[in-house]
Structure 1
Amino acid sequence: MGVVEGLTEFLPISSTGHLILAGSLLHFTSEKAKVFDIAIQTGAIFAIILFYWRRLADTAAGIRDDAKARRFVMNVLIAFLPAVVVGLLAGKAVKAHLFTPTVVATSFIVGALVILWAERRPASATRVFSVDDMSPLDALKVGLMQCLALVPGVSRSGSTIIGGMLFGLSRNTATEFSFFLAIPTLIGAGVYSLYKERHLLSAGDVPLFAVGLVFSFISAWVCVRWLLRYVATHNFVPFAWYRIAFGIAVLLTAHFGLVDWAD
């Protein structure tokens, strides 16, 4: 589960969707499993923090005197807030009713169609080529797109990256900002979930969560390094076709009873 999380968290293919499907195959679908799925996302975020350590340290050091650093932090906070509000209002209902293989498979396919549409737009529509050039309105738009990722299978990375591209961000800029936005979003979700569901956990769960976090971190580190090289010269169309193929496979195997996708 940790490897699945790390490899899928920052790709536009939905880590939550893959974790739900993997958990279904492993019969790991309890309430504790849902907390586990959210908590191990923190491991993937440590990979981002390590990868961008110098940028983050320079921003923290210059936040008092550097207008660019303050604007960067403000943009990340602006983009973060919509998911906080919507998550608190609708998170419980989403986890209760939408964390199912069928919803995930359907979201895979719908999200793929959006990616294909976004990649057909002309390059002339791009107007922002650096994270530092984003306006607060750009950040808010990306933050609103992130709210769509509450639906499992939509993909947090996919909604923020493709959403950013649709709003005029370059592919590289949208990808980098999605990484930075993931830091408060996923750490906040992990801490909140652990605190809220602490009654489900015990000291005996520490090895389970520790292994998930470690392997999430390792696989995310590998994936992030690869993805940044990939987006420099490629588009996201292959991920769209992967989403369609995977979504159809889940729906067909469920329909014909070939795989017992437990809700």
Structure 2
Amino acid sequence: MNEHIIAFILGIVEGLTEFLPVSSTGHLILVGNLLGFTGQKANTFEVIIQLGSMLAILVLYWKRYLSLLNFSTIGKPVKKLDAIHIILGVIPAALAGLLLHDFIKTQLFSPKVVVISLVAGAILMIFAEKNHGTFNSTTVDELSYKQAFIIGLYQCLAVIPGFSRAGSTISGGLLVGANHKTAAEFSFLIALPIMVGATGLDLIKSLDFLHTSDIPMFAIGFITAFVVAMLVAVGFLKIIGKIGLTVFAYYRVVLASVFFIYFIL
């Protein structure tokens, strides 16, 4: 298949799945193998298109990120999301990713791990839907520092391929009293720093595999992921409160079954 078509398809897959609780890593591994696009070039390409998804979040929330630079609101009686919320939400997973990066890349990127993670993540999401209490945070501005930190702890699960960063953080958000939209929006906001760090590290290690001849392919994937991710993020926030996480959990089990049949049997 033409590489430009592959780039377009994978860009769509990345944009569709990066901010949904379904594991973008699992989808990219599966679709990449189905298209015969694997190896170091494919790994580098995945890093580039993830940058497209990150740009989508930056464009959607640039005003919110800019407001985080106003440190005068920290500690004020009026509730407002501030930089400390983001820092507390990012630090746990950032430390876990930094300490375990090489181990994750060499030992955990396997179909068996993805299958287990997809199912484990689905169980967590169903548990969160059935066991969350009263929602005391209905906007991100109502989140406490404690809630932000606990959600950040749940994000640590996302270092395991297939678990899904969105799935783990939204589940954590529900369990600490945030409603679906608030948990999803905070998940988006803490995604950017985490993804910048993770993809930046991967990109540095992949520089030797970047060639000018690959620019058209990478550009197609990047732009496609950017556009699709932006549309999906906006749409997801509108529907997550109505449909919840359970439907995504069942989808993950189906995806795990496909993984098991295709890669393991």
* TM-score normalised by length of structure 2: 0.88
Q: How far off is 1:166 after superposition?
A: 1.4
| Cα shift at 1:255 | 4.7
Matched letter for residue 73 of structure 1 = A
**Secondary structure of residue in 1 paired with 2:41:** helix
Q: Deviations over 1:9-67 (max 9, x none)?
A: 1110011111111122223221232232233212112222222233334444xx04333
1:204 aligns with 2:224: no
Whole-angstrom distance in 2 between the partners of 1:167 and 1:38: 32
Shift of 1:209: 2.1
Of residues 1, 5, 20, the one that matches 2:14 is 5
**Structure 1 match to 2:73:** 66
Distance 1:201 1:122, change over 3 A: closer
Partner secondary structure for residue 186 of structure 1: helix
1:114 to 110, 124, 140: 124
Say whether the 8 Å CA contact 1:128–1:168 is kept in structure 2: yes
1:77 aligns with 2:87: yes
| Greater alpha carbon shift after TM alignment, 202-211 vs 168-177 | 202-211
Residue-by-residue CA offset, 1:137-174 (whole Å, 9 max, x unaligned): 22221112111111111001111111111122211111
Q: For residues 88 and 53 of structure 1, do their structure 2 counterparts lie closer, same or farther at Cα, with a shift above 3 Å needed? A: closer
Structure 1 SS opposite 2:72? coil
Between stretches 227-236 and 170-179, larger displacement belongs to 227-236
Aligned-pair distance for 1:216?
0.5
Amino acid at match of 1:200: F
- Give the whole-Å Cα distance in 2 for the aligned partners of 1:217 and 1:111: 25
Aligned mates of 1:169, 1:234 — CA distance in 2:
16
User: Which residue is 1:233 aligned to?
Assistant: 242
Q: Deviations over 1:63-90 (max 9, x none)?
A: 0433379852111122112222111211
Q: Which among 4, 10, 29 is matched to residue 38 of structure 2?
A: 29
Moved more, 103-112 or 10-19: 103-112
Which residue of 1 is the match for residue 103 of structure 2?
Answer: 93
* Distance apart, 1:6 and its partner CA: 0.5
Whether the aligned pair in 2 keeps the contact of 1:20 and 1:99 (CA below 8 Å) is no
Query: One-letter code of the match for 1:175?
Result: A
> Structure 1, unaligned stretches of length 5 or more?
257-263
Q: Distance in 1 between matches of 2:120 and 2:157?
A: 12
Paired with 2:222 and 2:173, the residues of 1 have a C-alpha distance of 29
Q: What amino acid is aligned across from residue 65 of structure 1 in structure 2?
A: S
Q: Which aligned pairs between 1:1-263 and structure 2 lie closer than 5 A?
A: 1-60=10-69, 63-67=70-74, 72-124=82-134, 126-256=135-265
**Greater Cα shift, 149-158 or 191-200:** 191-200
Q: CA 1:78 to 1:255, structure 2 compared with 1: closer, same or farther past 3 Å?
A: closer
Amino acid at match of 2:72: D
Q: Which amino acid aligns with 1:39?
A: I
Aligned pair in 2 of structure 1 residues 82, 59: CA closer, same or farther (>3 Å)? closer
Runs of 4+ with >4 A deviation? 68-71
Displacement, 1:108? 1.2
Shift of 1:235: 0.9
Task: Name the CA shift for 1:182/1:26 in 2 (closer, same or farther; >3 Å).
Answer: same
Distance 1:115 1:144 in 2: 15
Residue 229 of structure 1 deviates from its aligned partner by 0.9
Question: Which is further off, 67-76 or 152-161?
Answer: 67-76
**Equivalent-residue separation in structure 2 for 1:71 and 1:108 (angstroms):** 31
**TM-score of the two chains, using structure 1 as the length reference:** 0.88
- Check the 8 A contact 1:107/1:153 in 2, yes or no: yes
Contact residue 112 and residue 244 of structure 1 kept, 8 A: yes
Question: Any conservation in 2 of the 1:23–1:29 contact (CA below 8 Å)?
Answer: yes
**Root mean square deviation, CA, Å:** 2.0
Which piece of structure 1 moves more, 46-55 or 150-159? 46-55
